[in-house]
Structure 1
Amino acid sequence: MLDFDPLFYPYSSQRMSVYAKNGMVATSQPLAAQAGLDILKKGGNAIDAAIATAACLTVVEPTSNGIGGDAFALVWTKGTLYGLNASGPSPKSISLELVKKAGYHEMPKFGFFPVTVPGAPSAWAILSERFGQLPLTEVLRPAIEYAEKGFPISPALGKYWEKAFQIYKANLKEEQFKAWFQTFAPKGRAPRIGEIWRSLDHAKTLQSIAETKAESFYRGELAEKIHQFSKRYGGFIRKEDLETYKAEWVEPIKVNYRGYDVWEIPPNGQGLVALMALNILKGFEFTEKETINTYHKQIEAIKLAFADGKTYITDAKKMKVKVEDLLSEAYAEERRKLIGEKALEPKPFKPAKGGTVYLATADGQGNMVSYIQSNYMGFGSGLVVPGTGISLQNRGHNFSLNPAHVNALEPCKKPYHTIIPGFLTKDNQPIGPFGVMGAFMQPQGHVQVIMNTIDFHMNPQAALDAPRWQWLEGKKVEFEHTVPVHIVDSLARMGHQTNWAMGSGNFGRGQIIWRNEHGVLVGGTEPRTDGTIAAW
């Protein structure tokens, strides 16, 4: 089991790790965490709690996810780890040529061009059908009630809602975006912290999904509304795209890091990047976190892993290299040899900022879930299907318009995907779920949290509180203000282009639940947002 001191707390925080036995839910929004816990207390299991929390987050944190987004999950139950890929493909009628003909040189962020088939409702239905103990109508009831009756805006949520509103107000002038403003800015502005926001359209849509086990979304009335909205404004997504979609079970991938197996979802997700970086880093010895050597080698390993990830990761059916080759010891050794005393210049790409929610659940029966859900880049495409509250994701923004690139836009293709759930085991026994949301920060967050846990023996809360960095592109690295100044100065002398970040929103938002040798659940939640742990 994990070796950590429960009182080891080197970083400032107002929280300690939470301990409980019967159940635990950790996520970025207190109301959603409590909704999941309520489902556990009603006789649901960790899978039911994860679905309830995820659905609730589409209402109480719409700045980061929605009904029209994607999801991924890692589920531990009865001695087996299952992977679910609920990301959707591009529409059948779209093409690279059409996007270029419209005058774009890269995939746009807003409108119908980047809209891909939403996978989240399918994830809820499939998880419930296979592993749930309660009816979906009961599991989605907390989300429906918050949408019907409203809830008060929390501090971090209010901040990001206002930021998104200002961006959308400046950029989304066309009629097709009108429903977004009617739904998320009904008073002509973003709702303020402490103010009540509600959406009856969300409630009706969630009720329909619950009663039909998501059939209405893919083959019923909601599918028809999505189809008509897209058709009216020259969009590409159609009923046939929704009708043919279903989330798929996948085999999780892993690397062994110092005796622990670290698990991720395979491509099209970028969990492979985290695993490649850890595979490189395990060839070095680390004794302390706050050293120049630790930061330098972590940054260099992430840069190399991202260079490879952006070159090879796409829809699994379109991959030109094998995942096992990228995770081989020989491959890791070759990449490790490139790390020297100076900052490398990897093949460049520029990560985008993202909007995602992560949650972890566990119950007294031994079930554990690592779940992540997103619309991408905040509210997504800026398109809300009128009368439904469904904000459509813009995940297709990650496609390349270079026809020679492995991740080039094609019809019915899944793009390189940023959202990744993580899971940790040892000797075929579960330690638990972990994750750090935040677009291209996610694999970087996974690496830092896992090393904080395994190399530096931090308890879950300390592992999340610890200072973070983010590689941006080239030699550019961004640091939290809590990273020691002398380390950043030394890294700059080694060739890193260092920068202090303004605010904490750039470094992801994570959650952790471990199960210790006594069967007790130990949880940590993100101090950089409205994160909370609900437990009993």
Structure 2
Amino acid sequence: MSFQFDSLKYNYPTTRKAVFGRKGMVCTSQPLAAQAGLDILKKGGNAVDAAIATAACMTVLEPTSNGIGGDGFALVWMKDKLYGLNASGPAPMGIDPEELRAKYGDTLPKRGWVPVTVPGIPSAWASLSERFGKLPFEELLEPAIRYAEEGYPVSPVISRLWDNAYNEFKPTLKDDYFKYWFETFCPKDRAPKPGEMVYLKDHAKTLRELAATKCESFYRGAIAEKIDAFSRECGAYLRKEDLAAFHAEWVEPISTNYKGYDVWEIPPNGYGITVLMALNILKGFEFKDPHSAETYHKQLEAMKLAFIDSQKYVADPRFMKTTAEKMLDQGYADSRRALIGDTARMPEAGDPNCGGTVYLCAADEEGNMISYIQSNYNGFGSCVVIPETGICLHNRGRNFYLDPASGNCIAPGKKPAHTIIPGFLTKDGKAVGPFGVMGAFMQPQGQVQVLMNTIDFHMNPQEALDAPRWQWTSGMNVEVERAFPYAATEELIRRGHKVTVPAESLLFGRGQIIWRDEDGVLCGGTESRTDGTVAAW
């Protein structure tokens, strides 16, 4: 694949430019983490080694979005083949759906022990290293351990997110066990200010143990015992047996062809299939102007149809009411496309049976690449911190439904539908590269916009990320960024979309991209809405 960018054609308001390199590249939202990954490449590590080191650093440097107690997914291009890793964990075997329905009605709580499922991130790191890594696993966690032990200055965006979390949690987290969150992350009874040093000594101890045991301690060792003991003390469901039974799962990626490019995602229980379904609908249209109301309208209507189907059907594949193959059937996509007219419409699910997350990517000189994402879900997740470990458990179980008729209804040993979705692009059987946009249910929407910016409008990676974004939230409701074209906004309103303009740009996701051409040249873009960096060699 050769780069066919209409460079600077769109002139977006950003000081960032696409970055080129040849020997290696790491893109993520934290400069210190990206640099740590690049250092691993320079030591002789490959793209997977670099990604693990970067991911471990991110649990320390950006705890507002991810942590050791979260879930992870990866797409790995290694020696001309694409591999998928699903490191999302199930609900505890002791969970009682009837008890939860009686207590909470239709919606699971956002914080606390109830939405905690088995964390998968440590297993993801160990599985990736065992299968594809070149350097010793212990060496990959050394940068994260140093940042946790010796401290680091907080970046501006993370300081703001940290402060938002503190202001939310201070008046609401009243159970005694939440005190460990405040002791760990706000020991001065406030969030750290931009540039202020943060020390996470308990994180350092835990990371050392994970390094020494190749993460076995988290599932079948001392750390598992600590998680079990605290869960029992709090009257919660998670047990060491749940942890011991878990292993990250290697899966076959799923794909669709969009205008000559193959777009790859992790199969359900992930929401990556939403991207593919939307592209299947959109491939039947021709687009000339990325900023016309006609383009935005068709994108929104296609995304609404894909999302409403995903919300109904995506679940642990053992419990889905349909299959990924049926959801991706082109005939089904054609029938959904036929529903798109000139005005906005309320989306309804079809029947395919009849016919604050962090994202990073890395590439090495040999052509190996990885698209990797990990998350605590809603900011700091459950806000349950295991004493003396620094481990903040995620709240991914909040994605479960309590409706027993749903394939995504909570049940013992069942995985929830998952929003974190790494993406990968190929053409004619050759790697183009990894891409992703983090941000809960913005992720598939951001991916579709970034991909169309690349394929339909020939934008380079930085331009594709900088372009103003939209987000469908529900029904006829759409949010657009402040930089969104005013004329297009007015026309969308005339077409029946209910458009609002939120003040916070981070609501529209944070992405990273690396593309590789046939000469091995790497071209990277990073998110201008946060503290992103492309570290290139």
TM class by shorter-chain length?
A: over 0.9
Shift of 1:124: 0.2
Return the letter of the residue paired with 1:119.
G
* Cα shift readout 1:21-63 (whole Å, capped 9, x = no counterpart): 0000000000110010011111100000000000000000000
Shift of 1:152: 0.3
Partner of 1:479: 480
Contact 1:6–1:17, Cα closer than 8 Å, also in 2: no
Partner of 1:407: 408
Partner of 2:284: 283
State the secondary structure of the residue aligned to 1:413: coil
With over 3 angstroms needed to count, the CA separation of the structure-2 counterparts of 1:454 and 1:55, relative to structure 1, is same
Partner of 2:379: 378
Return the letter of the residue paired with 2:127.
I
Partner of 1:74: 75
Return the letter of the residue paired with 1:396.
G
Return the letter of the residue paired with 2:236.
G
Inter-partner Cα distance in structure 1 for 2:129 and 2:416: 26
Shift of 1:516: 1.4
Partner of 2:421: 420
Contact 1:8–1:462, Cα closer than 8 Å, also in 2: no
Return the letter of the residue paired with 2:456.
D
Inter-partner Cα distance in structure 2 for 1:328 and 1:241: 36
Does residue 52 of structure 1 match 2:40? no
Partner of 1:341: 342
* Cα shift readout 1:306-343 (whole Å, capped 9, x = no counterpart): 11000100001111211111111101000000000110
Inter-partner Cα distance in structure 2 for 1:7 and 1:190: 39
Return the letter of the residue paired with 1:58.
T
For 1:369-518, list aligned pairs within 5 A: 369-518=370-519
* Cα shift readout 1:146-180 (whole Å, capped 9, x = no counterpart): 00000001000000000011111121011111100
* Cα shift readout 1:274-308 (whole Å, capped 9, x = no counterpart): 10000000000001101011000000000000110
* Worse overlay, 8-17 or 327-336: 8-17
Return the letter of the residue paired with 2:301.
E
Shift of 1:102: 2.8
Partner of 2:256: 255
Inter-partner Cα distance in structure 1 for 2:140 and 2:441: 31
Contact 1:58–1:66, Cα closer than 8 Å, also in 2: yes
Does residue 32 of structure 1 match 2:8? no
Return structure 1 stretches of 4+ with deviation > 2 angstroms. 5-10, 100-105
* Cα shift readout 1:484-529 (whole Å, capped 9, x = no counterpart): 1111111101100011121201100000000013210000000000
Partner of 2:306: 305
Return the letter of the residue paired with 2:424.
F
With over 3 angstroms needed to count, the CA separation of the structure-2 counterparts of 1:273 and 1:103, relative to structure 1, is closer
Inter-partner Cα distance in structure 2 for 1:428 and 1:202: 41
Shift of 1:442: 0.3
Partner of 2:228: 227
Partner of 2:99: 98
Shift of 1:10: 2.3
The CA RMSD measured in Å over matched residues stands at 0.9
Q: TM-score, structure 2 length as denominator?
A: 0.98
Shift of 1:100: 2.2
Contact 1:422–1:433, Cα closer than 8 Å, also in 2: yes
* Worse overlay, 416-425 or 494-503: 494-503
Inter-partner Cα distance in structure 1 for 2:81 and 2:364: 15
| Count of matched residue positions in the alignment of Structure 1 and Structure 2 | 530
Partner of 1:141: 142
Shift of 1:106: 0.8
Inter-partner Cα distance in structure 1 for 2:192 and 2:501: 30
Inter-partner Cα distance in structure 2 for 1:100 and 1:442: 29
Return the letter of the residue paired with 1:478.
E
Alignment gaps of 5+ in structure 2 = 350-355
Inter-partner Cα distance in structure 2 for 1:329 and 1:154: 45
Inter-partner Cα distance in structure 1 for 2:366 and 2:519: 14
Inter-partner Cα distance in structure 2 for 1:226 and 1:67: 12
Inter-partner Cα distance in structure 2 for 1:9 and 1:534: 24
Inter-partner Cα distance in structure 2 for 1:532 and 1:155: 14
With over 3 angstroms needed to count, the CA separation of the structure-2 counterparts of 1:103 and 1:429, relative to structure 1, is closer
* Identical amino acids, percent of aligned pairs: 63
With over 3 angstroms needed to count, the CA separation of the structure-2 counterparts of 1:8 and 1:485, relative to structure 1, is closer
With over 3 angstroms needed to count, the CA separation of the structure-2 counterparts of 1:317 and 1:103, relative to structure 1, is closer
Partner of 2:203: 202
Shift of 1:9: 4.6
Contact 2:155–2:531, Cα closer than 8 Å, also in 1: yes
Alignment gaps of 5+ in structure 1 = 349-354
Return the letter of the residue paired with 1:480.
E
Contact 1:72–1:85, Cα closer than 8 Å, also in 2: yes
Inter-partner Cα distance in structure 2 for 1:170 and 1:251: 45
Partner of 2:24: 23
* Cα shift readout 1:203-250 (whole Å, capped 9, x = no counterpart): 010110111011100000000000000000011000000000000000
Partner of 1:521: 522
Shift of 1:7: 4.3
Contact 1:72–1:420, Cα closer than 8 Å, also in 2: yes
Contact 2:106–2:401, Cα closer than 8 Å, also in 1: no
Contact 2:27–2:534, Cα closer than 8 Å, also in 1: yes
